[in-house]
Amino acid sequence: MQIIDRRRVFDGHYKVNQLIVQDGDAQLKREQFAPGKAVAALVYDTIRQVYVLTRQFRIGPEAEILEIAAGMIDGDEAPETAVRREIHEELGYEIDKLEEIVQIWPSPGTSAEVITVFYAEVSRKTGAGGGLAEENEKIEMLDFSREALLAEPLRDAKTLIAVQWARLRE
């Protein structure tokens, strides 16, 4: 298969491209959700010995979802810079230690989104967290012991991956 044409057909808060894909003698028309690149981090407060997650309303499931801190990469920003910004905005922490877990395509059949997932250790809270008012974010911060986090019924893919990584490394 080879992409022979690409057009932006929707350019709102998110982007949608229409692709023409050559498959042998056939040309297939496909839509591609193109939200951009994102970062996410499983955050562990080494002083309080708790994982700090977020809960917020998400458009996809049309519900509040428990998940690790996450956000979009701005322009040519490095993933490490973006995750530091997002953790501070959403949770109010400065990062002491940062480790990349994996780079994933959460839904490669329809989406060009790439998420770099990190593990972050923190000990210094220098901001309020809760998200940015100008981005209409209303983020609740929740603490979990290791046992409580492992018992929590998670439904968000990036969060499941990060928690499974934590489970396997101990």
Residues near 33 by beta carbon (within 8 Å), at least 6 away in sequence: 14, 15, 16, 107, 110, 111, 112, 113
CA dihedral 44, 118, 65, 135 (to 10 degrees): 100
Tell whether residue 86 is among the known ligand binding residues: yes
How would you classify the pairing of strands 37-45 and 50-58?
Answer: antiparallel
1 near 23, Cβ under 8 Å? yes
Which of 149, 151, 159, 147 has the alpha carbon at shortest distance from 118? 159
CA-to-CA distance for 152 and 38, rounded, in angstroms?
A: 24
Tell whether residue 121 is among the known ligand binding residues: no
Tell whether residue 100 is among the known ligand binding residues: no
Helix (H) or strand (E) holding 107: none
Tell whether residue 80 is among the known ligand binding residues: no
Binding site, annotated residues for Mg(2+): 70, 86, 90, 137
- Annotation: binding site: 70, 86, 90, 137
